[in-house]
Structure 1
Amino acid sequence: MSLQNDLPELVKAGVISEDTAADIASYYQGKQASPTNKLFVVFGILGAILVGLGIILIIAHNWDELSRGLKTVFAFLPLVIGQALCAFAFLKKRGNVAWRESSSVFLFFAVGASIALVSQIYNIPGDLGSYLLTWMLLTLPLIYVVQSPMTSLLCLVGITYYACETSYWGFPTSNSYPYWAMLAAMVPFYYQLFRKNPLSNFVRFHNWLVPLSLVTVLGTLSATLDEFMFIAYISLFGFLYLLGTGAWMPQENTKNGYTILGSLGTIILLLFLSFNEFWEHLFKKELQLTEIFASQEFVLIVLLTLAASVLLYRTIQQKGIRNLSLFSIAFLVFIPIFFIGTVSTIAVVLVNVLVFLLGVFTIREGSRKNHLGLLNYGLLIITALIICRFFDTDLSFVARGLLFVGVGAGFFFANYWMIQKRKEK
């Protein structure tokens, strides 16, 4: 008896619903998908992109010789073709991933091309930010209509570029608030995709692009107190790390974007703050409590810290406090250090101690788990800290050289000890 034959019988008997049967069938189809089918999906998506670009190039080559009416027809032609392909995939090839993804990707780019061509034909004014916003708003429903993860990834890239265009390169005339609304609109699809098959390649790509997008765009919310964005970022990195290492994340997918970006982001940010210049600037700056509490950055800090703290509480409930990594609580340790830095430059010493402890605890965790990657990551953290101190200390070149020799020897003996330990087991 096969699962495919049993599902209709279970639905008829009322044991499961039709939606549940469809989800079960889709899940096992994804698990049993052969490399050939996956390759066919990839080539289908690439083919759709190339065909779309080819059509645009052919039309562009003869563009000046066409009348306005003919130009308008060609402007809407890719859009009509894309809609027809999506309708065919939805009605006739609903279970075919290659058809669904390639047709939706073609329509995604067709929408962008049509908007650009119509604007050029009729001289409609606008900038790149408004163009990207219109494009993303029109293609966002396509994610749910066609159920296309690839379109979701493209929209994620598009809204991230829109936020950068409007708030980084267009600052201070524009803001990126629509980005957050569009990202929130995409979250249910991402959650549905994760629940259906958390180990699929599309989910893995989302697990990288979503946190990368958040890290990239968070800085656009800075308004008056730029220095306080460091607390917001450290809380965001703590939230991402806890999200990636939580019990809800499959063990086979522990090396996800949330964990890696959360860990690396914490280390890079703390290494940047391990220099004196920032803390001297913060110490000299006159800050009023009313100004801090009324700022947009303070609201952002409260929201991100609360979100990270809730995840930390749930992680402690699920794993126990003894199994926590220091990266999980680094954001809580950093917040008092930052406020100490507003009254004393001793904060720079505390940051260096925190980075050193993160390196030591990572080495300890790598040794306990017999994990060479974690062991070397901890050694790299300490090496990076030593390199940073190489540039702002008055040690002699002999002392610096001996320090690097000691670190190199530490790398060698730690790895040698770990390999010998593995051989004994």
Structure 2
Amino acid sequence: MSDKIINELEELLHANVVTTETAENIREYFHQKKEESHNRLSSIFGILGAILVGLGIILVFAHNWDNLSRLTKIILSFLPLIVGQLLCGYSILKKSESTVWKETSSVFLFFAIGANISLVAQVYNIPGDLDSFIITWMLLSLPLVYLLQSSIVSLLYIVGITYYCCNSNYFTYPSTQSFLYWLLLLGIVPHYYQLVKTKALSNFTLFHNWFISISIVICLDTISHKNGYLLYLSYMSLFTIFYFIGKTSFFDKQKLKNNSFLIVGKLGILYLLLLYSFKWFWNKSFYKTDSISETLLSIEFIIACALTLIAALLFYKKNSRTNFKEVSLLELVFLMNIFPLISAYEFSIVANVIVLFIGIFEVKRGIKLNHLGLLNFGLLLITILIICRFFDTDLSFVLRGILFITIGLGFFLANYFILKKRNRNEK
């Protein structure tokens, strides 16, 4: 398409449709766009090549490992590390402007560090567990993120510390409370901040948005001890914080796929609301300790209060600019955190009403904006709510069938009328 436009520029110039300066600007724009596309493909293939070469070297070593002398094993253990460091040094000194070189060499060195640690430990029978290995590997690899501005190593680092957190808290027994993950996560914050400021629309930033938000959601549960049920309050506030981050002017202007915080926050809030809508959820106690004072001093309660306070501050910051005239029901849901702490009554009816109103609001907004995605999202939310009630109510099968038929007709008619309206407007 771009080549076709460039080829027609001469005709447009002769017809005085565009000026010479405009034509040059158009050529420069498409040239830069083509270069960016070429660099992106080169980076992808370079990174994949570095990963495959690194894994291939490890497999070759592993196949002949038992037949090698100790000296040979040590030399081979350090060889990928030395090669990786030489490549990184060359990238910094000679190819400082090449993203392909920096990303490829840093990824190769990242895996070389892990291989070197494990191979040397095996040669000298150095004891250790998987958690200490991952922590050592990640800490030694973190400088690569800043020395070579490597976003791929940054993403691998996030995956590594997330796996460490899951392994120490979910995958092993007995599990241990580990807050080291949160300190390790802070190590990547400066690089992420730089990406957001300088490359807001790049794929690297997009992946960081998703990796960081999902990693935090996965690892928040690891702080639980005796009052794990209180983490539902923490998650509600965390999702609300994500939602408000996604609603900031910076993220709100971007495409939806780039706004992981808005998607994760909104879906997380709705998931918890649907969970709250079940009666059995409220039959369980939020307090798992012997005394209220022990509960109030528990780490789960402190984290829940801190996140709720942050959510309240973000709520005030967002809506104070409009004098609270554009407050949506979804933004107020985190206030439900107060009720389990002051009352023991069931809150399922309130949750059902809130989900229903949010669904109706999304349908109404979809019709107003002529947006099929919003319309179907609202209808889908109402459908899921009805399905949830299908399992914990005593409604007859006839009534349940009528409800599903009604929702199905609603899907069909709403989409039909919007498509009809679009066709009429196009004419």
TM-score calculated relative to the size of structure 1 = 0.88
Partner of 1:50: 52
The DSSP-based 3-state class of the residue aligned with 2:177 is coil
SS at match of 1:282: coil
Looking at structure 2, the residues matched to 320 and 146 of structure 1 have their Cα atoms a distance apart, in angstroms, of: 46
> Which residue in the other structure is 1:16 paired with?
none
Deviation track 1:47-100 (CA, whole Å, cap 9, x = no partner) reads: 100000011111111101101111011111111111111111111111111111
The verdict on how the C-alpha distance between 1:248 and 1:388 changes in structure 2, with shifts beyond 3 A counting, is: same
Kindly report the root-mean-square deviation, in angstroms, between the aligned alpha carbons of the 2 structures: 2.1
In structure 2, the partner of 1:401 is: 401
The gaps in structure 2 that reach 5 residues or longer are 1-29
Q: Deviations over 1:323-347 (max 9, x none)?
A: 3433222212x2134336x5212x1
1:11 corresponds to: none
CA deviation vs aligned residue, 1:247-279 (integer Å, no higher than 9, x gap) = 122513333211111111111122122211121
1:101–1:92: structure 2 CA closer, same or farther, 3 Å change rule? same
Q: What's the offset of the Cα at 1:39?
A: 1.0
Map of 1:422 onto structure 2: 422
State the Cα distance separating 1:226 from its structure 2 match: 1.2
Q: Which residue of 2 aligns with 1:74?
A: 76
1:198 maps to which of 194, 197, 200: 200
Give the deviation of 1:319 after TM superposition. Answer: 5.5
Which of 98, 101, 119 aligns to 1:99? It is 101
Task: Assess if the C-alpha contact under 8 Å between 2:246 and 2:252 holds in 1.
Answer: no
The one-letter code of the counterpart of 1:136 is: M
Structure 2 residue 288 is the aligned partner of structure 1 residue 299 = no
Which of 259, 263, 266 aligns to 1:263? It is 266
State which structure, 1 or 2, has the greater radius of gyration over its C-alpha atoms.
2
Which residue in 1 is equivalent to 2:143? 141
8 Å CA contact 1:247, 1:315 repeated in 2: no
Equivalent positions of 1:1-400 (< 5 A) are: 33-170=35-172, 172-249=174-251, 251-255=253-257, 256-282=259-285, 288-318=291-321, 321-332=324-335, 334-339=336-341, 342-345=343-346, 347-400=347-400
- Size of the aligned set, in residue pairs, is 395
Cα separation, 1, equivalents of 2:307 and 2:32: 35
Q: Decide which moves more: 250-259 or 146-155.
A: 250-259
- Paired residue type of 1:203: T
Q: Is the 8 A contact 1:241 1:327 kept in 2?
A: no
Partners of 1:30 and 1:197 within 8 A in 2: no
Distance 2:365 2:353 in 1: 18
Q: Aligned-pair distance for 1:200?
A: 0.4
C-alpha displacement of 1:406: 0.5
Q: Cα distance, 1:355 vs. partner?
A: 1.5
Q: Distance in 2 between matches of 1:284 and 1:92?
A: 61
- State the alpha-carbon separation in 1 of the partners of residues 288 and 137 from structure 2: 43
Deviations 1:5-39 (A, max 9, x none): xxxxxxxxxxxxxxxxxxxxxxx999774322211
Letter in 2 for 1:304: L
Query: For residues 208 and 268 of structure 2, what CA distance do their matches in structure 1 show?
Result: 18
Note if contact 1:245-1:254 (Cα within 8 Å) is conserved in structure 2. Answer: no
TM-score for both structures, normalised by structure 2: 0.88
